[in-house]
Structure 1
Amino acid sequence: MADRRRINGPPGGTSAPVYTKYLAKDPKELPERPTRVRPNNALRKLFLKTGVTPSASGSAYLELEASKNPKSTTPGLASLSTSGLKLTCTVHGPRPLPKSAPFSPHIILTTHVKYAPFATRKRKGYLRDSSERDLGVHLETALRGVIIGDRWPKSGVEVIITILEGEEDQWWGDDIGGSNTSAADWGMMSVLSGCITVASAAIADAGIDCVDVVAGGVAAVVKDSGSEGISSTPVLVLDPVPSEHKEIVAACVVGYLPARDEITDLWVKGDIGHENQTESATRTSSYEQLADNAVQAALGAHRVLVAALKETADVKLGRL
C-alpha cells in the first residue's frame, strides 16, 4: 500500500541540471583538465577532529582539501576541478544486545556508510545502493581485526559514517564532452580510505579497546595524456584524485596497522598485468609495488590520526 502522506524521492541517483555559460557543448571549448601539482609521493592535507557529536559514544570528522586547477581562469562552477572529501562518523555503543538475541562471546560490529544526497554531482537516493553497501562491508572487514571483541560479550556497537562530500569518479568535463564513457568508481577508493581513518578515530574516542589504530591509504597507477594526446607511461601516485588524471589503470586501498605491521583490509581494482612490456614499467606497475605505496599513504594518514588522538587525550585530561 502506497504511503500518500509523504512524497518520497527517486530510489536511484539523479543528475541535477547545471546552467552556466562556461559549460560549452563543444569538447574543444571546455576548460582544461586539472593537473596534479603535488609530487607523486605527496598526500593532500588532512584535517581530523574527534568529539564533534556529543550525543554519541564517540565521533570524528575528517576532511581532505580540495585541489584546484592553477591554470583555470573561468569563475564559478567551471573553475572547480574536483570536490574534496568530508566525512563524519559516530559510534554508538558498546551496549547490550536484546534479550532475544543469541549469546555471542564477542562484540557484534555493525557498519553503515551512506552518501548525503548532495555529496556528489550525481544525487544519491534515500536508499543505500550497491556502492554504499560495498563500502560498509570493506569498512567492517578493516575494523573487525582491530577491536578486541572478547571484552564485550553479548554486546553490540554501531559505526555510522555519513559522506558529506565525496570524491568524484572522473572530471566533470569528461562527462559533458563524452570523452570517457566507461569511468569506473575510482572515487570510492579514496572514500573508503577516509572511512577507515575516521572510523578508527571515532572508535578510539568512544574508549573501545583496540590492538592498534588502523589508518587507510590509497595508491594508483595512472596515465596522463601528453601534448599530442598520446598516453604517457604509467606511474604510481599516492592519494590520487580521479579528475586530475586522464586514465586510472588500477588502484589499491589498504587498512594498515603500523604497530603490528598488519593489513586488515585490501581492495585492488583494475588490471595492470599485461599492459606494459618494458622491465621498468612492469616494476612500476606490479601489484606488490601498488600495495606497498598504499601502505606508505596509510602511514601518512596514521601520523595525523595519532596527533589528533593525542590532542583529544590532552583535552580530556585537562592539559590544554
Structure 2
Amino acid sequence: MTDRRRMNGPSGGTAPPFFASSLTSKTASPTQRTRAPDELRKIFLKTGLTPSASGSAYFELEPSTPTAASKSLASKAPALKLTCTVHGPRPLPRSAPFSPQLLLSTRIKFAPFAARYRRGYIPDAGERDLAAHLDTTLRGVLISERWPKSGVDVIITVLEGEEDDPWNKGHLNENERAGGWGMMSILAGCITVASAAIVDAGIDCIDLVTGGVAAIVRQPTAPLQVYLDPCPSDHEEIFAACMIGYLQTRDEITELWTKGDIKASTDGHGANSMGFEPLVDQAMEAAVAARLVLIEAIKESTGMKVQTSRIGHPKNAAS
C-alpha cells in the first residue's frame, strides 16, 4: 500500500547532475579599476515608483566594468540597487505621549538575494548600524517642528549590495560580513535615495542631503591615492575610507563615518596630500556630484506631477 500523502522517489538510485565550474579560480584577484580617480559611476535615480507610499525612490549604481581576461559568467563587481519608501507623516496613536517634533523611524533591510552571504529575516548588526547612521543623517535635515505628534517611517530595501570580495566571503564570521568596505557605498546610496523619497513625499527639509564616499587605496602599479566612489572589488587594498552626508547649500555635514587607519596610510606616502581633511574634501566632491543627479530626478518627477494635475483640471490649464 502506497502513501498518498507524500511523493515517493524513484525505485532505482539516481546520481546528482555534475556541472563544470565556470570560474577559473575561486580566489580570483580583484578587477582593476578603469575609471579615473575622480570619476564616479553612473547613477540612475527615479522617484514615485510606489503608489501606495507617501514617497518612494529607486537608486542604482552601474557595476564596474570587468576586465577582458575574466571568463566568469558571474559579475565580480555587483551593482548597487536600492528602493526606498516613505510612509507618513501620519498621526501617532492616541495612547502615544505628546511629541512636539516629528518622530522618525528608519530601517534598512537586505533582500535574501542581495549578496552571496544570505541574510536572515531578523535585522543583523550591520543592518542596524546602517539604519542608525541613516537616522542621524536625516534628523539633521527634516524640519520636525512642523509635524507635532506625527511619525514617519523610512524603509530601504537593498536589492543588490556591494561586497568586498564576492568569492572569498565564506570564511568570514558575522561581524566581519557586517562591517565590510562596501557598507560605506551602500550607506551613501541609502542617504541619497532616502532624500529623494522624502522630497517625493512632500516633507519639509532644510536642504537636500546626499552621500559621498572617498577612500585611500593602492593599485597594483600605482602608489597610494585618494579615489572617489570606490568599489571594493576594483582595488587591491583599501587603507581608509570616509563617508559623509553633505548639505551643499548650507555647507554642512550631517553624518561622518570614517574607517581604517588614515595615519598608517599616510606615513611615508605623502601625508600632505592624503590625510583626514583631504579625504573628507574628496567625499564632499562625491556628494556634490550625486546631488546633481538628485536635483534632475526631482525636477523630472515634479514636471510629471504638474503635467498630470493640469490634465486632471483642464480649466486651470486653460487659464
TM-score, structure 1 as length reference = 0.85
Give unpaired runs (5+ residues) of structure 1.
Answer: 1-17, 227-231
Q: Residue 239 of structure 2 contacts residue 262 of structure 2 at CA under 8 Å; is this kept in 1?
A: yes
1:177, 1:221 → 2: CA distance? 26
Give the direction of change, closer, same or farther, for the CA distance of 1:308–1:157 in structure 2 (3 Å limit). same
1:192, 1:137 → 2: CA distance? 10
Q: Residue 266 of structure 2 contacts residue 275 of structure 2 at CA under 8 Å; is this kept in 1?
A: no
Aligned twin of 1:129: 124
Q: Does 1:237 align with 2:227?
A: yes
Give the direction of change, closer, same or farther, for the CA distance of 1:314–1:249 in structure 2 (3 Å limit). same
Q: Does 1:261 align with 2:251?
A: yes
Residue 177 of structure 1: how far off its partner (Å)? 11
Residue 176 of structure 1: how far off its partner (Å)? 7.9
Stretch moving more, 252-261 or 63-72? 63-72
Aligned twin of 1:162: 157
Letter of the 1:63 counterpart: E
1:211, 1:289 → 2: CA distance? 27
1:105-126 Cα shifts (integer Å, max 9, x gaps):
1100000000000000111111
- Aligned residue among 25, 39, 42 for 2:39: 42
Give unpaired runs (5+ residues) of structure 2.
Answer: 1-17, 311-319
Aligned CA-pair RMSD: 2.2
Residue 71 of structure 1: how far off its partner (Å)? 2.0
Could you say which structure has the larger radius of gyration?
2
Q: Does 1:211 align with 2:200?
A: no
Give the direction of change, closer, same or farther, for the CA distance of 1:177–1:103 in structure 2 (3 Å limit). closer
Aligned twin of 2:236: 246
Identity %: 53
- Aligned residue among 185, 188, 193 for 1:193: 188
Residue 223 of structure 1: how far off its partner (Å)? 1.4
TM-score, structure 2 as length reference = 0.85
1:72-120 Cα shifts (integer Å, max 9, x gaps):
341412xx12101000000000000111111111100000000000000
Q: Residue 117 of structure 2 contacts residue 170 of structure 2 at CA under 8 Å; is this kept in 1?
A: no
Q: Does 1:72 align with 2:80?
A: no
Aligned twin of 2:57: 60
1:177, 1:52 → 2: CA distance? 38
Aligned twin of 1:3: none
2:288, 2:195 → 1: CA distance? 14
